[in-house]
Structures are given as structure tokens and as C-alpha cells.
Chains A and B, each alone.
Chain A
Amino acid sequence: MLKVQEIRELIKLIDDSTIDEFEYEVDGAKIAMKKGGTHTEIIQTPIQQPIQPALQPVQTAAPAVAPQPVSQEQSSGPEQKEATTDDSNLHKIESPMVGTFYSSPSPDADVFVKAGAKVDKDSVVCIVEAMKLFNEIEADVKGEIVEILAENGQLVEYGQPLFLVKAE
């Protein structure tokens, strides 16, 4: 089998070349790449491999496909604050994506909003960032911030409530 690194090298070579179609077979694995017009298509079909060849370079990593417990996050752990207050008629500002929650525009700046702050629909209340894409989250409702449910630097999930707002 080809190593992932070797496949990457191949892709780069083909991508930079004028070759439109490329097929390569080794040890029962087949790689086919096809560039069509402006788009490149890369398909790797692992042909069903009868029995592993006896001699195989030892993988340094653990069995590649072994199911692994995937931790959802770094170490910060779930920091679910039980919002015991009756929030049924409060507006929730939810995170539109998975990412890191920032309460201020830069580390040494003031926070966007504190509990008790009045907000308009287009007031920025926080930033959620993933892979260096920064999303300024707006309140989307006019009212007063009742509670802040996430803390600076915390990883937040898609749909996770970030703020409770008492709408006017």
C-alpha cells in the first residue's frame, strides 16, 4: 500500500502537471486521478485486497482504522452551567458553528457585553472562531443580556446557547 505521504506527493505532481488522467496500481491498491476541465477529481479505490502481503512495512501508528474514542474537545471540559432560572421565555443566542468563544475583540479589550447590557439586533455579542475564521455573532434581538453561558476561550458546540436575552 502507498503511504498517505506518497499519495499526497502524487496528487501534487499530477496537479502541477499537464497530465489529465493517471492510474497507478501497486500491491493490490489502485489510485486513479482525473482532471476534468477546471476541476480535479481524485478517486482512490482500494481494490478488495485478498490477503495482506506477508511483508508489509510496519505501521508506526496504531491500527489505522481502529475505532477510537474521539474526545470532543481539548481539556477544558464541559462547563455547562445549569441555567436554573426560568429561561423558557428568554431568547437564546446560539452558536451557529463549532468553535472557540471569545468574549472580547482582542485579549486586552473590554468584553463585547456584560450581563445587564442592553443590546440591539445588530449588536455584536461575541466572536466564535474555528480554523482562523472569525464570526462576529450578533444579538439578533433587541433586549437585555440576562446571562452569559460561555466563557472566554471555551469550545462551543453548534447550537449551544451562548447568551440569554430578555427581549423587549
Chain B
Amino acid sequence: MGDGLSKTKNRILKMLVDHQNEYLSGQKICDCLGCSRTAVWKHIKDLQKEGFKIDSVQKKGYRMTAPSHHLSEANILSSLKTKKLGHNLKFHETLPSTQKEAHHLAEDGAADGTLVVADEQSTGRGRLGREWHSPMGTGIWMSLIIRPDIALHQTPQLTLLTSVAVVKAIHDITGVECGIKWPNDILYNGKKIVGILTELQAEASHVKAIIIGIGMNVNADAADFPDELKKRAASIKSLTGREHDRPAIIQAILKHFELLYNTYLEEGFEIIKLLWESYALSLGKEIYARTVKGDTIKGLAKGIDDEGVLLLETRDGTVHHIYSADIEII
């Protein structure tokens, strides 16, 4: 990636976004960024190709009319509201898997807060090697690398934290209020909108990196889902009937995540737990918990404990501590 060039482009985009619906003269942009008018013109052409609606009028300059929902490096960086997360952005039009890419980057020492985003994944995967459908231009497929200084046994709490950040972001940008099914599936009307896969790189008991993969169905049409997914998954567009701004959703996820994450690092899990519970779908309800071995326990979802473990009370009054299971709400 030609970093220098693309950085100028990002800065031009930021100026246009900051002055939306006003004209900025080519000269003014040159003066601010210290580049030539030809360079500005070239970058504007690029941005237009990426789908940004930028007018250019002689003697007045350039004006951005509508933000683009198109996903690009410039578009994600232009209105990033975080201090750290996402500034080191690795954007790809297509990747086999953002999670795999992030793993490699993390092993090579990528900085805390590095974000990998792809517009398409050719072999996107969920947990336990399950395939994750991630076609071009319709969703958010991203993996975030963080390097928290926390004890290894606490790391699962971050999966719950992530789900809270994502639910808040979706609500902010699209108005849709999803719920969370333990531990971190994001659902609307029983259909999965977002899946989160978190993986750890550790050395003995020391956390080296945590890689949080987020896959979100945003602008796919219901008809685009493979048949086997139609009953279980939905996109946000299929709920609202309109397309949504993917860069804005990514920015909102990062903003909420950073806020919650800093709170978590300073104050612990308690507040995150309360927020998580406020979005939880299964609490106080009868559920089935299917374990990896294939056993199914039926009981009342009492809540989560201070670690994030699901507390399931069976009829005989026993409270089971569930660390991993597929949950089905009865």
C-alpha cells in the first residue's frame, strides 16, 4: 500500500467530510496539506471512483454532497472517533479471512488496536472451522487486534464486552435494537445478525494478543442468503428496508468498544456485566444448553456470574455453570 499517497487522500477526504455541503477551493486544500493542485485533483478523482459524491465547480472548488456507504480505507479513517483503535488500518478489497490475516499480523508484532477489514472474504470462518458467508460489498468483516495487560482467565469477558459495543453501534447508526444471546451472538427476532469469534495468542499464562473477529450482515438482501442460512440469519437491511452506512457502523463499533474497554481495564467487569445483562435475551427464560459432547440441559437462565459464566438452574434447583454451549431459547 502506498501509504504516503493514500494518507494525503485520507486527509483530503477528512477536510471534505468536515466541511460537508460547503465548497473548498483546490488552493485551500493545497495550502493545508502542502501538496500540488494536480495531486489534489488526482485524489479527488480517486475518491469519486470509490463512490464518494464530490462536486467540482470551477472557481468554487470541491464539495462533498453525500457520504458514501462504500467501504474503503479512506472512508473508514475519515471520521474515526477513537484515540487508538483502528488507526492502524489494514484494508483489503478481498481476503481469504480477516481473522487469519490478523493472526499473522499479531504474530509479526502488529500494534495494539490494529484493525483488519475486508470488503469480501473468500474463506471466512466462524468458530470451530465453520464457514462464514461473507460476500463482496454487503457486510462488515473485520478483526481487531488488542493487547491487554490482563490475566488470561479474564479474557473471555472481552467476548461479552464486544457484543455490547456492537449492539450499541448498530443502534446508533441504524436504529435497530438487537439483543444478545449468551455469550455473544447478536440476534433480532431470533435471527443472527452478527457473529463474534475471539481468539487468543498466549505464551503459557501471559496474554500476547487477542484477536476479535466480527462478521455482520448489513446490506445483503434476504434473497442473497444461502438457503440453509435463511431461517437463522438476517441482514440489517432486511429489517429496515434500506441500505446502511458500513464505514459509520465500523467507526461506531470502535468508538463504543474503546470506551467500554477502557472502563473495563480501569474498573473491571462489573459495569460491562450490567450492560450486557441489559441486552441479554435469555435471562429469566427457559433455555436449552447443548454442550459440545451433545448433552442438552434444560433450565432457567438465572444470569451470569462475575466471570461471565452462564448460570443455568435445572428443576432440581441445581445451578450449573456453563462455560461453553449452544443456547436455544425455548
Residues 107-141 of chain A, each 1 if its beta carbon lies under 8 Å from chain B, else 0 = 10100000000000000000001111111101010
State how many residues of chain A have any CB contact under 8 Å with chain B: 49
Residues 274-298 of chain B, each 1 if its beta carbon lies under 8 Å from chain A, else 0 = 1101110001100001011111010
| Distance between A18 CB and nearest chain B CB, rounded to angstroms | 14
| Distance between B319 CB and nearest chain A CB, rounded to angstroms | 5
| Distance between B263 CB and nearest chain A CB, rounded to angstroms | 4
Is B156 engaged at the interface, CB distance under 8 Å to the other chain? yes
Among residues of A, the one whose C-beta sits closest to the C-beta of B300 is A61
Which residues does chain A contribute within 8 Å of B159, judged by CB atoms? 131-133
Q: Most chain-B Cβ atoms within 10 A of its Cβ — which of A4, A98, A132, A158?
A: A132
B323 and A155 contacting across the interface, CB-CB below 8 Å = yes
Is A25 engaged at the interface, CB distance under 8 Å to the other chain? no
Complex: how many Å from CA A107 to CA B156?
Answer: 22
A131 and B205 contacting across the interface, CB-CB below 8 Å = no
Selected interface stretch from A50-58, A73-81, A84-92, A142-150: A73-81
A98 and B153 contacting across the interface, CB-CB below 8 Å = yes
A38 partner, pick from B197, B262, B293, B321, beta carbons under 8 A:
B262
Among residues of B, the one whose C-beta sits closest to the C-beta of A3 is B284
| Distance between A89 CB and nearest chain B CB, rounded to angstroms | 20
B271 partner, pick from A42, A68, A76, A134, beta carbons under 8 A:
A42
Complex: how many Å from CA A41 to CA B297?
Answer: 35
A133 and B153 contacting across the interface, CB-CB below 8 Å = no
Among residues of B, the one whose C-beta sits closest to the C-beta of A134 is B199
| Distance between B219 CB and nearest chain A CB, rounded to angstroms | 25
Among residues of B, the one whose C-beta sits closest to the C-beta of A98 is B323
B297 and A132 contacting across the interface, CB-CB below 8 Å = no
A96 and B152 contacting across the interface, CB-CB below 8 Å = yes
Is A163 engaged at the interface, CB distance under 8 Å to the other chain? no
Which residues does chain B contribute within 8 Å of A134, judged by CB atoms? 127, 197-200
Is B111 engaged at the interface, CB distance under 8 Å to the other chain? no
Is B108 engaged at the interface, CB distance under 8 Å to the other chain? no
Interface residues of B in 122-170 (CB under 8 A from A): 127-130, 152-153, 155-160
| Distance between B176 CB and nearest chain A CB, rounded to angstroms | 14
| Distance between A98 CB and nearest chain B CB, rounded to angstroms | 6
- With contacts A131-B184, A133-B200 taken as known, whether A8 is within 8 angstroms of B324 at the C-beta atoms is no
Which residues does chain B contribute within 8 Å of A39, judged by CB atoms? 262-263, 266-267, 271
- With contacts A130-B323, A133-B158, A133-B200 taken as known, whether A40 is within 8 angstroms of B263 at the C-beta atoms is yes
- With contacts A11-B278, A39-B263, A152-B292 taken as known, whether A133 is within 8 angstroms of B198 at the C-beta atoms is yes
Complex: how many Å from CA A138 to CA B203?
Answer: 8
B271 and A102 contacting across the interface, CB-CB below 8 Å = no
B128 partner, pick from A75, A102, A138, beta carbons under 8 A:
A102
Is A48 engaged at the interface, CB distance under 8 Å to the other chain? no
Is B183 engaged at the interface, CB distance under 8 Å to the other chain? yes
Complex: how many Å from CA A110 to CA B229?
Answer: 27
- With contacts A39-B267, A97-B153, A132-B198 taken as known, whether A70 is within 8 angstroms of B321 at the C-beta atoms is yes
Q: State the 6 A-B residue pairs at the shortest beta-carbon distance, nearest first.
A: A106-B129, A153-B292, A131-B156, A153-B293, A131-B183, A8-B278
Which B residues form the contact surface with A (CB < 8 A)?
127-130, 152-153, 155-160, 183-184, 196-205, 210, 259, 262-263, 266-267, 270-271, 274-275, 277-279, 283-284, 289, 291-295, 297, 300, 302-303, 308-309, 313, 317-325
19 contacting pairs across A/B (C-beta < 8 A): A4-B303, A9-B278, A38-B262, A39-B266, A68-B319, A69-B318, A74-B320, A75-B291, A75-B295, A76-B295, A100-B292, A100-B324, A129-B127, A132-B127, A132-B156, A132-B183, A134-B198, A135-B155, A140-B203
Which A residues form the contact surface with B (CB < 8 A)?
4-5, 7-9, 11-12, 15, 38-42, 61-62, 68-76, 96-100, 102, 105-107, 109, 129-136, 138, 140, 152-155, 158
